[in-house]
Structure 1
Amino acid sequence: QDRLACNYWRERCLASMRWFLLAASSIVLSWWVGRSLARGRRRKLRVHFLKKGHGGKSMVGWTPTDQHLHAICRKLSSDVLVTSGEDLPRNAVDVLVAAFPTRDQLLQVKDSIRALLVPFAGFPPPTRLLLKELGMSSKLVVCNLHHNAPMTAELAVALCLAASKQIFEADRKLRQHDWSSRGIPCEGVPDPLPMLLLQGKVALVVGYGEVGQRVARIMSAFGMEVLATRASLSRVARDKHAVVHPPADLLSLLPRANVVFLCVPLTSGTSKMLGRKELAMLPKGSVLVNVSRYNYPATSKDTQSTPVSTRNDFSKLTNLVMSPHRGGAVGLEETESARLSAIAEALNLAADRSDVRAMPCRVDVERGY
């Protein structure tokens, strides 16, 4: 009798399990069929990659090659429909991938465009002003990319080390068979080139975004006390690597900073942020590293032919380390691969969720970053 009861309950359990598995399978199948039907009915995300653009030269912004486009398409879902070219397609465009669209181009897609994806860091002020002028800034989702933040942060730290250790001046002397920068302490030998010991000193990171946070982590590893400012803060905050202040605290932080990193976007609030007055507040022997963006040239010709300075000959300053606009490592295979992956990720998110607001790295058009 006990054996019969045991068999009875075992059969009941097995029957319940079979029913549960059948119900679960039906639910999953219904969900999959519904999702497939929905995907079939859903309109594809129409994306246009604008080649060239304002100024008509690829030096302005970034223009995709055919190889780039093939690589991006391999990463995109089937819900993304891609077109490219200097001219916009006749059909409507949901997302325009461009940095410097012209007025006529924006007017052509004004009724259909839902998002502008700037294919690099920052937001070009000419494009921002054009969007506001055309009344598109409020309805349009604007995003950019942070794919080059690691490269830019690495260059910032490299410039800091080169300046604080006077590497280039020592190298120049040594190439002339001059060992005096070593500074052996004895009579008749020049003093060594001054070097700034970073450990135990204060680093100030102005602009605590993707680049600034990476710089802070590295300088913290050097044993520096890291302070920072961030535009979105109204009160002091802390994280693992830095004490982060609102921008209003900048002047009070400068006298404490042995190294200052400028990692801010180009906006009306950051233009001319540090002048003669602010620089005079820094301790003697401080190092200033600027990896922020400067004013955009009117055309790409300016970036190719304009001298480093038309007013000052910086080449004769031994306390200055110069690097052309190469922090983003544009054109390198690793950089372009990261850029393409970031673009594909943003477009796939927008297509998968049927919402361009799902794209990361949103830009506030009013603020400019």
Structure 2
Amino acid sequence: MWIHVVSAHPNFTLEAELRVLVERNPHWRFTIGDEPPADAGYQVLIASRPTRELLSASPRLTTVQLPFSGVPAVTREVMADFPHLELRSLHHNAGPTAELALGLVLAAARGIVPADTGMRSGDWTSRFVPPRPTMLLDGHGATVVGYGEIGRRVARGLAALGMRVRATRASVTSAYTDGDVEVRPADALTELLPDSRVLVLTVPASPATTGLIGEAELALLPVPATLVNVSRATVVDEKALYEKLRGGDLAAGLDVWWDEAIEPDAVHGVPASAYPFHELPNVVLSPHRGGAFSLPESAVLRAAHLEKALAEIASGK
């Protein structure tokens, strides 16, 4: 199997992963570059933002493999003109992202950051007057929006905390049970929100999910409640979320933002939002690190998942 790799990406390269793949799979042919190789005959293209030239250069191309989960809008647009090609994403970061999501749930729901800040100056107020809003999770309802690789892990974690967990998934048409989790169609979300003390967003960005959580949906949440977003910022209406949080009845843990630093050498002075979320004590701010680019294990995980994905493609799965 011939695999062509476009390795350039703002947040990572694939050099370490490719060394592993080449060493372990000498029967596969790898070529690398932003331009198609001469006499292109690759069957698989690994690229985050494939160009039309790369997609049309090889008559043998059957599959485009993204090196991460989620499809960039520019990739979705160009792939629409190549309906015969299979598009696959990678879920090596599902575990790290789910771990961060659960951490944000606990930090936001229990006011851990304000309590930590107070303790650093010798202030024990949070022991006797908890930061607002602080809430118990055990026995209460939780909803995970998006029941893919990340959502399933988050749902299991919330169930382990004693929560009654429901999830919505766009690809299902009727409810079913997966262990301790009740899975519903996506259009059941508004029915679930009034009983969702915790709402975790793990859906991919798409036209269908843009603005999915707006003023009306936020108004349906009980008091108090916690919202955690590890998907994409555009899933939530920016102004509506800020205004709801400013009211004090909602806590939030946010790992994704409407504006983000994308270059490792330009990380200062980048505003995350047009609104001052950083001034709100009931928000835990995280700089889009759920995908764990900086974790030592990241390259190992990506290599293992890429190898598995390529083996499936080679076997016709």
| Shared fold, TM over 0.5 | yes
Q: Write the distance in 2 (CA, Å) between the matches of 1:299 and 1:156.
A: 20
The within-5 A match list for 1:271-286 is 271-286=210-225
Provide the TM-score with structure 2 as the length reference. 0.86
Name the structure where strand makes up a greater proportion of residues.
Answer: 2
Taking the aligned partners of 1:310 and 1:340, their CA distance within structure 2 comes to 34
Distance 2:147 2:84 in 1: 28
Q: What one-letter code is carried by the residue in structure 2 that aligns with 1:317?
A: L
- Deviation per residue, 1:188-240 (Å, 9 max, x gap): xxx33352111111111111111111111111111111011111111111121
Contact 1:50 1:63 in 2 (8 A): no
CA contact (8 A) 2:259 2:273 kept: no
Q: Which of residues 110, 117, 128 in structure 1 aligns to 2:65?
A: 117
Q: CA deviation at 1:310?
A: 4.9
Query: Is residue 2:149 matched to residue 1:193?
Result: no
Does the CA-based 8 Å contact 1:162-1:168 persist in structure 2? yes
Q: Does the 8 Å contact 1:76/1:347 carry over to 2?
A: no
Q: Which residue of 1 aligns with 2:53?
A: 104
**What CA distance in whole angstroms lies between the structure 2 residues aligned with 1:103 and 1:298?**
27
Residue 94 of structure 1 corresponds to which residue in structure 2?
Answer: 43
Number of the residue aligned with 2:19: 70
Q: Partner residue of 1:59?
A: 10
The aligned residue for residue 81 of structure 1 is: 29
Q: Deviations over 1:127-186 (max 9, x none)?
A: 110122xx31x2101111111111111000000000011000011112122111111xxx
Higher relative contact order (CA 8 A, sep 6+): 1
The equivalent residue for 2:103 is 158
- Partners of 2:261 and 2:47 in 1: CA distance: 16
Q: Which of these residues, 112, 117, 120, is aligned with residue 172 of structure 1?
A: 117
Q: Deviations over 1:37-91 (max 9, x none)?
A: xxxxxxxx11011122xxxxx316x4312x332111123251x111112332113
Partner secondary structure for residue 64 of structure 2: strand
Q: TM-score, normalised by structure 1?
A: 0.74
Could you list the per-position Cα deviations for residues 319-338 of structure 1 after superposition, in whole angstroms to 9, with x for gaps in the alignment?
A: 00010111011132212111
Corresponding residue for residue 149 of structure 1: 94
Distance in 1, matches of 2:287 and 2:110, equals 20
Tell me the residue number matched to 1:316.
Answer: 279
Tell me the distance in 2 between the aligned counterparts of 1:240 and 1:131. Answer: 36
What's the counterpart of residue 330 of structure 1? 293
State the distance in 1 between where 2:232 and 2:265 align: 13
The 1:338/1:82 distance shift into structure 2, 3 A limit, reads same
What amino acid does structure 2 have at the position aligned with 1:50? V
- Whether the 8 Å contact between 2:199 and 2:228 is mirrored in structure 1 is yes
Asked if the contact 2:69/2:93 (under 8 Å) is kept, the reply is yes
* 3-state SS, counterpart of residue 285 of structure 2: coil
2:101·2:154 contact (CA, 8 Å) conserved in 1? Answer: yes
Looking at structure 1, the residues matched to 292 and 187 of structure 2 have their Cα atoms a distance apart, in angstroms, of 32
Q: Give the aligned residue type for 1:59.
A: P
DSSP-derived class of the 2:139 partner: coil
Structure 2 unpaired stretches of 5+: 235-257
How far 1:107 sits from its partner (Å)?
3.4
Identity within the alignment, %: 37
Change (3 A) 1:307 1:117: same
Q: Secondary structure at the match of 2:96?
A: helix
Paired letter, 1:322: L
Q: Tell whether the 8 Å contact from 2:143 to 2:199 is kept in structure 1 after alignment.
A: yes
Match of 1:238 in 2: 177
Number of residue equivalences: 291
**2:4 is matched with which residue: 31, 43, 48?**
48
Which structure is larger by alpha-carbon Rg, 1 or 2?
Answer: 1
Structure 1 178/285 Cα, relative in aligned 2: closer, same or farther at 3 Å?
same
Taking the TM superposition and a 5 Å limit, the aligned residue runs for 1:347-358 are 347-351=310-314, 353=315, 355=316, 358=317
